[in-house]
Amino acid sequence: MTWEPVIGLEIHIHLKTRTKMFCRCEVAYSEPENTRTCPVCLAHPGSLPVPNAKAVEWTIKLGLALGCRIAERAVFHRKNYFYPDNPKGYQISQYDEPLCVDGRLVVPGPDGEPEVGIVRAHLEEDAAKNVHTGSAQGRIAGASATLVDFNRAGTPLVEIVTRPDLRSADDARRFLQLLRQTVVELGISDAEMEKGSLRFDVNVSIRPQGSDELRTRTELKNLNSFAFAAKAIQREVERQTGIYEAGGEVEQETLHFEPGTESAPPLRSKEEAQDYRYFPEPDLVPLQPPAELVERVRAELPELPGARIMRLAAELDPDTATDLVTSGRDALFERVPGDRRAVANVLMNQFAAAGVDAAAVDPEEFGKLIEARSRIPRERLIEALAASGTPGFLADDYLGDGLMADTSELEPIVDRILEANSGQVEAYRGGKEGLLGFFVGQVMRETQGKADPKVVNELLREKLST
Amino acid sequence: MAITRDEVLHVARLARLELTDDEIERFTEQLSAILEAVAKVSELDLSDVEPTAHPLDLVNVWAEDEPRPSIPVEDALANAPDREAGFFKAPPA
């Protein structure tokens, strides 16, 4: 029998507002613990929450970008649970009247353009950060204390829930890449997993191909990268397949991949959503997003990365198109003349490895490099790419014949340039090694492009390291 | 009784409360009395009445995204039963 994966995602992103969701403490990531708190986010009796207007607007913006219907009326609810990250004893969240409902995101892949339904995108507050201490690796089991930092408590958090529309681990990865790029380009979140401003959980089940049943699912939590998530999903699909093929039954369970990082305690499987005892937050009045606000935000939407991926996938392939767009290199790609496939390959391989900012590159000069790439030595191309973001970069400097390769000729020039740019020399020695390209460029200018970049590089490295 | 002993135990567990037998019995009676009193409302025909979550006829009460000073960490920790460096210290979760 052929088995079909059925995958749904739940994504949380921090909004990069200046202040928290329900108080005006600054949102902080690296401040000393408990220095961004107030009576509201510490849950002192008598304090009252006031929603952040910008967070509401940005959630609407995301909802529109995801093709959601923006609710005419949205309500905050209390989600009750008891845990040290939650001083009020409840999280202010949204329940049956969220801000954004019923959207979709098209995720181009090798098997077409699957449309992933968005059940909802709602606004809530993040919990405090818990540090479990007292045992090796800070794992929960055996911890002797829980230390609590409330700087994160109350950070605006959007929860996005998809329908179980994804059919492969790679589709899930592409969806996450595209969603992340979308929120980054909307300017509403930096969506960095390392920082905790993007987190997600995955629901996985399988079913016989062609069936529309929904079988028991397992939940994968605390996955720390998109690539790792794709692997974990694939493994879980294989595990479930093995169980069914052996005549067994999959049990509902939660698989934690990074213990100790959860923010809300997972419900035990026997517990139900009703155990959160949701009820409307009496301290907050409903939201009724004004039509003029929604229309203004809609008019401000930029061309979305999903649309750009589809446009580029038509001339390349979905994965390359996704990589170009989600790495922010597609704008350069579209401006560089020449063979499309070659430009894309160089951008995603050698150029990506050089770590040069795509926005600093002159597309015409870049196009000359691509055009000449098979005629020049590979190292020369790599050197040229490394220098391609330097102001005044000329491809011809790396492409000409009759190169000056004599060190006795080049050394005085290099010395002169280092002397004339002592500030940059100091910065380079202080760790700004990207400046190498700058020095190379200067030597090239001085020699009208005749210096052999390889020799110049060697000379510069030697002199700069002493 | 509008609420059972098991339901009281369940709710107590969700709030991580440990109750004595006497308390379980007393709270079962008290919570039942409260629920029965509130249940009076269901004797009315409210089919035409919108659910009212809030007594105020207001919407969109919100504030601009402008930071205000937070409180000093020493004030934040002043009521903490236990602390470690700048952290609140709680029993292991």
DSSP A235: H
Provide the pLDDT confidence category of residue A269 given band limits of 50, 70 and 90. very low
* Segments of B1-93 assigned E as strands: 83-84, 87-90
Classify residue B13: in a domain, yes or no.
yes
Classify residue B22: in a domain, yes or no.
yes
List CB contacts of A457: < 8 A, sequence separation 6 or more. Answer: A383, A436, A440
The interface predicted TM-score (ipTM) is 0.90
Closest CA to A254 of A224, A216, A228: A216
For the cut 80, the answer to whether the pLDDT of residue A266 exceeds it is: no
**More reliable by pLDDT, A84 or B54:** A84
User: Chain B partners of A130 at a C-beta cutoff of 8 Å?
Assistant: 93
Q: Mutate one of B57, B62, B64, B84 to test the A interface: name it (highest A CB count within 10 A).
A: B62
| Interface size between A and B, measured as CB pairs under 8 A | 129
Q: A90: phi > 0 → left, psi -120 to 50 → alpha, else beta; which?
A: beta
State percent of chain B over pLDDT 90. 75
CB neighbours of residue A201 within 10 Å: 19
At residue A158, the pLDDT reads 98
Closest CA to A330 of A298, A354, A358: A358
Q: Which of A52, A75, A84 sits opposite B93 (nearest CB)?
A: A84
Classify residue B21: in a domain, yes or no.
yes
d(CA B55, CA A285): 9
Q: Which of A50, A146, A275 sits opposite B14 (nearest CB)?
A: A275
Measure Cα distances from A120 to A12, A15, A269, A326 in Å. 12, 16, 23, 23
Q: What is the dihedral of CA A187, A117, A119, A63, to 10 degrees?
A: 30
Residues facing B63 on adjacent strands: A52
Q: Do A19 and B90 touch (CB under 8 A)?
A: no
For the cut 80, the answer to whether the pLDDT of residue A461 exceeds it is: yes
Range A171-190 average pLDDT:
96
| Closest chain A C-alpha to B79 CA, distance in angstroms | 10
Question: Scanning the structure block, which residue is given the tokens 């940059």?
Answer: A424
Q: Express each pLDDT in B51-89 by its tens digit.
A: 887 888 899 999 999 999 999 999 999 999 999 999 999
Measure Cα distances from A412 to A30, A415, A450, B9 in Å. 47, 5, 15, 86
Given a contact cutoff of 8 angstroms between Cβ atoms, the answer to whether A13 and A183 are in contact is yes
Q: Which two tokens stand for residue A464?
A: 């700069």
User: Chain B partners of A38 at a C-beta cutoff of 8 Å?
Assistant: 68, 70-71
d(CA B88, CA A189): 28
Classify residue B66: in a domain, yes or no.
no
Domain that holds residue B23: 5-42
Q: Which of A37, A54, A140 sits opposite B70 (nearest CB)?
A: A37
Q: Which two tokens stand for residue A376?
A: 């020049």
Q: What is the fold of A407-464?
A: Arc Repressor Mutant, subunit A (1.10.10)
User: What are the boundaries of each domain within chain A?
Assistant: 3-297, 327-399, 407-464
At residue A2, the pLDDT reads 93
Provide the pLDDT confidence category of residue A446 given band limits of 50, 70 and 90. confident
- For residue A239, the surrounding DSSP H or E stretch is helix A226-245
Provide the pLDDT confidence category of residue A273 given band limits of 50, 70 and 90. low
At residue A262, the pLDDT reads 46
Q: What CATH number corresponds to the domain at position B16?
A: 1.10.20
Given a contact cutoff of 8 angstroms between Cβ atoms, the answer to whether A392 and A445 are in contact is yes
| Closest chain A C-alpha to B71 CA, distance in angstroms | 5
Range A218-244 average pLDDT:
93
At residue A465, the pLDDT reads 82
SS3 A77: strand
Mean pLDDT of chain A: 90
Given a contact cutoff of 8 angstroms between Cβ atoms, the answer to whether A437 and A386 are in contact is yes
At residue A318, the pLDDT reads 87
For the cut 80, the answer to whether the pLDDT of residue A374 exceeds it is: no
Would you say how long chain A is, in residues? 466
Q: Do B87 and A51 touch (CB under 8 A)?
A: no
d(CA A352, CA A382): 11
At residue B16, the pLDDT reads 86
At residue A272, the pLDDT reads 61
At residue B52, the pLDDT reads 80
Please state whether beta strands A145-149 and A76-80 pair in parallel, antiparallel, or not at all (unpaired): unpaired
State percent of chain A over pLDDT 70. 94
Q: Which long-range contacts (CB under 8 A, 24 or more apart) does A268-277 make?
A: A275/B14, A276/A79, A276/A80, A276/A81, A277/A78, A277/A80, A277/B14
Q: Do B61 and A50 touch (CB under 8 A)?
A: yes
Classify residue B31: in a domain, yes or no.
yes
For the cut 50, the answer to whether the pLDDT of residue A263 exceeds it is: no
Given a contact cutoff of 8 angstroms between Cβ atoms, the answer to whether A83 and B93 are in contact is yes
**Closest chain B residue to A135, measured at CA:** B92
CB neighbours of residue A224 within 10 Å: 14
Q: How far is CA B80 from the centre of its chain?
A: 20
Closest CA to A372 of A404, A398, A350, A354: A398
SS3 A81: coil
> What total of structural domains would you count in chain B?
1
For the cut 90, the answer to whether the pLDDT of residue A103 exceeds it is: yes
Classify residue B72: in a domain, yes or no.
no
For the cut 80, the answer to whether the pLDDT of residue A115 exceeds it is: yes
Q: Express each pLDDT in A236-260 by its tens digit.
A: 999 999 999 999 999 998 888 765 4
Q: Which of A148, A265, A287 sits opposite B87 (nearest CB)?
A: A148
List CB contacts of A48: < 8 A, sequence separation 6 or more. Answer: A40, A283
Range A299-318 average pLDDT:
92
The number of CA neighbours under 13 Å toward the Cβ of A167 is 19
Range B38-49 average pLDDT:
90
Closest CA to A106 of A166, A160, A157, A148: A166
SS3 A124: strand
Given a contact cutoff of 8 angstroms between Cβ atoms, the answer to whether A25 and A37 are in contact is yes
Q: Do A84 and B90 touch (CB under 8 A)?
A: yes
For the cut 60, the answer to whether the pLDDT of residue B44 exceeds it is: yes
User: Chain A partners of B62 at a C-beta cutoff of 8 Å?
Assistant: 50-53, 56, 287
Q: Express each pLDDT in A154-170 by its tens digit.
A: 999 999 999 999 999 99
User: Chain A partners of B77 at a C-beta cutoff of 8 Å?
Assistant: 34
For the cut 70, the answer to whether the pLDDT of residue A370 exceeds it is: yes
Q: What is the pTM of this model?
A: 0.81
Q: Which of A50, A146, A149 sits opposite B92 (nearest CB)?
A: A146
